[in-house]
Amino acid sequence: MKINRTLLLVLIWFGIIEGLSTLFLFFVAMPMKYMYDQPLGVQIAGPIHGFLFLGLVLLLVIGKYKIPLTTKTFIWGLIGSVLPLGPFIVDVTLYKLLKK
């Protein structure tokens, strides 16, 4: 089975970027909003994170058939995209697939 390494690399990097956007939202923007009454960070980072989340899910769906990802990896990818540190954990599995 031939692996689409380019799409796999895009998926890995997109997962890292989406995960970082989650951390920024949780540890910078939300504390600024709720502790210092400065909602601008959430107003900017929230939609960006939402866009990145949807992009990650779309890339997982495309990757299921084009990389191809196993059903197990695909399902863990979907679960991981919802959890705060999930994309980083799933990226470990995707990186191992890249090294094959």
pLDDT tens-digit map of 88-97: 999 999 999 9
DSSP secondary structure code for residue 84 in this structure:
T
Confidence (pLDDT) at 84: 87
What are the residues whose beta carbons fall under 8 Å from the beta carbon of 7, sequence distance 6 or more?
Answer: 59, 62, 63, 66, 67
pLDDT digits (tens, 9 = 90+) for 32-75: 999 999 999 999 999 999 999 999 999 999 999 999 999 999 99
Entry pTM: 0.92
What are the residues whose beta carbons fall under 8 Å from the beta carbon of 87, sequence distance 6 or more?
Answer: 15, 16, 18, 19, 22, 56, 80, 81
